[in-house]
Amino acid sequence: MTSYIGVDWAGSCWLVVKTGDETYVTTEPSVFNVWYEHGKNEDVQSILVDIPIGLPETETRVCDQEASEMLSSRSSTVFSIPSRDVVETDDYNDARSKNGDSLGSQSWWLFPRIREVDVFLQDHEEARDKIFESHPEVCYAALDGKELSSKGGDGGIDERLDVLDNGSDLFETVKSVVNERRDGAEWHDRISKGRIDDVIDAAVLAHTAQLIDLQPRSDKADYPALPEDPENDEKLGVPMEIVYPGAY
């Protein structure tokens, strides 16, 4: 049995999409639950998460810079993650001061989720073997060959569904969840109508992992990522990179 998982933060929970021998969409309250309810199972080869994994000691991450350049006019969807010292600071003004008096609100609100994943991986070495970082917009751009419109409207959602449309169980399952939300069903597995974009984001991560057959790090997995030669995070010992489908 072989399965792959995509995970995206959905405002109040982690949205989980599994594909392969088993396909489903669900949510979990923490990364801990994602791992213990889904990820650690033997059939799961890898997990792609839309959250920064690996923090620089100084400066910024090269993978963020390259992803931003790749997305061009949609580069604002990529957050430039500052050093570990900044991310681990609890006070906004202190964090901003440490970051050269510059820190966007979106990055600041993302810090708790970054720390959640970072601490989990520090405490669970076995999870570092399967959990990789990715970025949905980078995956969609690579798969479609062009920039897509904003996913904030129905047009952008439909464009992304079209990218996933290969007749697979994954596409049919995700389309069903999206259409249920559009038809007025506000809640299902804690997925509200306003979180449709998180469903398709987690889906493209699961699809990407399956497409490139992303294997555990211990198996010396070979996969496309930004940058080609990433630096390792000193605490986690994993590369600071963004996995994506490559040229398809």
Q: Are strands 44-49 and 3-9 parallel, antiparallel or unpaired?
A: parallel
Q: Do the Cβ atoms of 209 and 5 come closer than 8 Å?
A: yes
Tell me the C-alpha distance between 238 and 216, whole Å.
12
Is the pLDDT confidence value at 148 over 70?
yes
Point out the least confidently predicted range of 82-91, 118-127, 138-147. 138-147
Q: Helix, strand, or coil here: 9?
A: strand
Residue where the block lists tokens 């604002």: 76
Is the pLDDT confidence value at 150 over 90?
no
Burial of 202 (0-12, 13-18, 19+ CB in 10 A): buried
What would the mean pLDDT of 200-224 be, rounded to a whole number? Answer: 93
What would the mean pLDDT of 31-36 be, rounded to a whole number? Answer: 98
Name the pLDDT band for 182 (thresholds 50, 70, 90). confident
pLDDT at 180: 86
pLDDT at 137: 93
Point out the least confidently predicted range of 128-142, 143-157, 199-213. 143-157
Name the pLDDT band for 195 (thresholds 50, 70, 90). confident
Q: Do the Cβ atoms of 175 and 139 come closer than 8 Å?
A: no
What's the pTM value of the predicted model, to 2 decimals? 0.94
Q: Do the Cβ atoms of 52 and 133 come closer than 8 Å?
A: yes
Q: What is the DSSP letter of 142?
A: H
pLDDT at 248: 53
Residue predicted with more confidence, 185 or 10 = 10
Tell me the C-alpha distance between 244 and 239, whole Å.
14
Query: What are 83's two structure tokens?
Result: 């050093």
Q: How many CB atoms lie within 10 A of CB 224?
A: 17
Query: What are 125's two structure tokens?
Result: 């070495």
What burial letters (b/e) apply to 80-90, b meaning 16+ CB within 10 Å?
A: bbbbbebbebe
pLDDT at 224: 96
pLDDT at 12: 87
Tell me the C-alpha distance between 215 and 234, whole Å.
23
Q: Do the Cβ atoms of 23 and 173 come closer than 8 Å?
A: yes
Name the pLDDT band for 247 (thresholds 50, 70, 90). low
Vertex 124, ends 119 and 128: CA angle to 5°?
A: 90
